[in-house]
Amino acid sequence: MARPIDPFPRWFSRVTPEPAQPRGAGATAAMCSMQATKSDMMIRWVTKEETAAAPLENEQEVISLIAPRHRRKALIAAMLGAAIMLACPGTARSQQVVVFVNGQPITTLDVEYRSKFIQLSMRKVPTRKEVLDSLIDEILEVKEAKRFGVDISDSEVDKSFAGVATRMGLDAKKLTDLLAKDGTSAETLKRRLRAQLAWTVLVRGRYKASLEISDKDVEAQLKLHKPDEKDDVGYEYIMRPVVLIVPRGSPDAVYEARKRDAEALRGRFTNCDEGVAFARALNNVAVRDQVSKFSADLPQQLREILDSTAIGHLTPPETTAEGVQMFALCAKRETKSDTPEMHEIRDQMFQQKFGEKARRYLEDLRRAAMIEYKMTEDK
């Protein structure tokens, strides 16, 4: 039997035919959903290696090998694809490139999501220039960080994303839903967090020496801005965490019972030496290793609790993921080198230095970058 003639020469490859296109009402919408797929009439040029066995002199010779009726079908398919794109202008625009930053594209979809995100977080409608500057800076920061070996993992980004959600009184899933509801996405926020983490690590590492703040400088600023607090003192707290363990998933009644046990233990705990030994002898009670915390590193509410707890006694019980926790305050040392006020001044001075270094660094990166605007930039 004679071998059937393949209308497509072996120098071309065909795409597997797709299901028939819908007709009638709703056909345009259905075709829009498939616009990203390849038509069954699409053909492609093959590589030089694929044609090595039978090289051709020029492209015209290859084109002439296709039967006229197949050329007509290919032309019709191309025209149909263009018609579909015109019928679905929103999708086409969302993938338009607005800017190239060192070869990396920023699309209109990126701009739309970032604009909604800034509006949500800053409570104002940003200009197009502000949105583009934010996206451009982000790309430059991440690429520069990678150049110096700083690459933030997905797990670090997810942890930071969860931290944002916690500070908002949400979990990661609810924050994701909230962002989507407001016209942006979780990926937009994660992209921003990745850039912030990478940029902070990079700037801190490269300018570590010049970012250091001496105690003398802090004291001078404290006397200048807060003269009434120059004689304030801070404290170093030496503590032992004591945990009354509660199995996960236990009902509230179990936690309430353990809180009563904790209050009973507080009444018998009068010093760390004897109290720690007594607590360890109890069932389902864990005494953790000693920890040291400075008052400057603690929130005001926790400082007040520790200051109102007598040395050798336990703080009031609180519920944690492990169960019911208290802290045995074993020692309290006075210090003038790290008070809450000095910590606040030190942070302010650091942020000022860091901000200036980061600004100049980013300006240098922008001057050296190849930034090509493909669409008109609004001022």
Q: Tens digit of pLDDT for each residue in 51-64?
A: 344 444 443 433 33
* Cβ–Cβ < 8 Å for 333, 236: yes
Averaged pLDDT for residues 257-281: 94
Per the model's pLDDT, the better-predicted residue between 33 and 311 turns out to be: 311
233-335 domain in CATH 3.10.50.40? yes
Is the pLDDT assigned to residue 318 strictly greater than 50?
yes
Averaged pLDDT for residues 339-361: 86
Q: Give the whole-angstrom CA distance, residue 280 versus residue 266.
A: 14
High-pLDDT (> 90) share of the chain, %? 51
Q: Give the whole-angstrom CA distance, residue 81 versus residue 75.
A: 10
**Residue type (1 letter), 300:** Q
pLDDT score at 33: 40
pLDDT score at 232: 64
Tokens standing for 291? 């920890």
Return the CATH class of domain 97-208+359-373: mainly alpha
pLDDT score at 299: 82
Q: What is the pLDDT of residues 216-251, one digit of tens each?
A: 888 788 777 665 554 567 788 999 999 999 998 899
Per the model's pLDDT, the better-predicted residue between 5 and 253 turns out to be: 253
Is the pLDDT assigned to residue 353 strictly greater than 70?
yes
Question: Taking the model in full, what pTM does it have?
Answer: 0.54
Per the model's pLDDT, the better-predicted residue between 104 and 347 turns out to be: 104
Is the pLDDT assigned to residue 14 strictly greater than 50?
no
Q: Give the whole-angstrom CA distance, residue 21 versus residue 343.
A: 68
CA 340 distance to own-chain centroid: 30
Q: Give the whole-angstrom CA distance, residue 191 versus residue 114.
A: 10
CB atoms within 10 A of CB 145: 22
> What are the angstrom distances between the C-alpha of 236 and each of 299, 307, 337, 340?
14, 11, 11, 11
Least confident of 159-163, 168-172, 218-222, 302-306: 218-222
φ, ψ of residue 363 to 5 degrees: the values are -60, -40
The mean pLDDT value of the chain amounts to 77
φ, ψ of residue 116 to 5 degrees: the values are -65, -35
Domain limits, CATH 1.10.4030.10, in the chain: 97-208+359-373
Domain limits, CATH 3.10.50.40, in the chain: 233-335
Is the pLDDT assigned to residue 48 strictly greater than 90?
no
pLDDT score at 7: 39
> What are the angstrom distances between the C-alpha of 190 and each of 26, 36, 87, 112, 317?
37, 27, 33, 16, 36
pLDDT score at 245: 95
